[in-house]
Amino acid sequence: EAGVAQSPRYKIIEKRQSVAFWCNPISGHATLYWYQQILGQGPKLLIQFQNNGVVDDSQLPKDRFSAERLKGVDSTLKIQPAKLEDSAVYLCASSLGGSSGQVSYNEQFFGPGTRLTVL
Amino acid sequence: RKEVEQDPGPFNVPEGATVAFNCTYSNSASQSFFWYRQDCRKEPKLLMSVYSSGNEDGRFTAQLNRASQYISLLIRDSKLSDSATYLCVVKGRNTGFQKLVFGTGTRLLVSP
């Protein structure tokens, strides 16, 4: 079974430039997550989609970050304009479910990440 | 106070040693608990869930103390391949949906 795909794997940009990351979740997974992992820290949830709807974007810096999952499958995360502190690995994850009321845990599978360096 | 706190380490141990990591969490309403493993420059992967009764998977034992709000991971007979960062993860709720909160991770280095 194919895992979570992400591209590009690496990206180097200058501050104030724009950048976009792409994620294709595991087939059939309804829930998609974008995380930011800064060096030496654990992943931090930026946004969570359930199908094509946003469940949680409370930690997404909305003045510069945006994300969409228009058809409920793949997703893009954009940063515009980038700042030095945005240098991090951006991880995409997916899980089967996660809808309201579900108590059972749905394991999140992570993609390889996109390593962003902002100069 | 961070929602999930871990000692970042690194823990340097020889092969064959037993090592234990602890993690504390601040939200008493947290529902589920996990340990993830992250190799250098790789993505996190689920190592094991943590149950109230404690659970074991081979050389790995996880325990949960809800009263004290801490989680532990014990690794027996350490192997070189156990060298990685171990992330403590707590699941809570955000407007009814499941949300994972990750600790900063504890780095383990197993040497020959």
In chain A, which residue's Cα lies nearest the Cα of B105? Answer: A42
Q: What is the reported pLDDT for A1?
A: 64
Q: What is the reported pLDDT for A49?
A: 93
Q: Is the dihedral of CA B79, B85, B88, B92 positive or negative?
A: negative
Percent of chain A scored above 90 by pLDDT? 77
Start-to-end CA distance of chain A, whole Å, equals 37
Of A42, A98, A105, the CB nearest to B103: A42
Q: Which residues of B touch A58 (CB under 8 A)?
A: 94
In chain A, which residue's Cα lies nearest the Cα of B89? Answer: A42
**Cα A35 from chain centroid?**
5
How many CB pairs (< 8 A) connect A and B? Answer: 56
Tell me the shortest Cα–Cα distance from B39 to chain A, in angstroms. 11
Q: How confident is the model at residue B93 (pLDDT cuts 50, 70, 90)?
A: low
Partnered with residue B44 across adjacent β-strands are B38
- Are B73 and B20 within 8 A, CB to CB? yes
CA–CA gap between residue B47 and residue B30 (Å, rounded): 19
- B45-81 pLDDT, tens digit per residue, is 999 999 888 899 999 999 999 999 999 999 999 999 9
| Residue B48 forms contact with A (CB below 8 Å) | no
| Residue B49 forms contact with A (CB below 8 Å) | yes
Answer whether A106 sits within 8 Å of B98, measured CB to CB.
Answer: yes
Q: How confident is the model at residue B103 (pLDDT cuts 50, 70, 90)?
A: very high
CA-to-CA separations, A53 to A30, A71, A105, in angstroms, rounded: 10, 10, 20
Q: Which residues of A touch B97 (CB under 8 A)?
A: 48, 50, 55-56, 98-100
Partnered with residue B102 across adjacent β-strands are B89
- A63-114 pLDDT, tens digit per residue, is 999 999 988 899 999 999 999 999 999 999 998 875 444 444 478 899 999 9
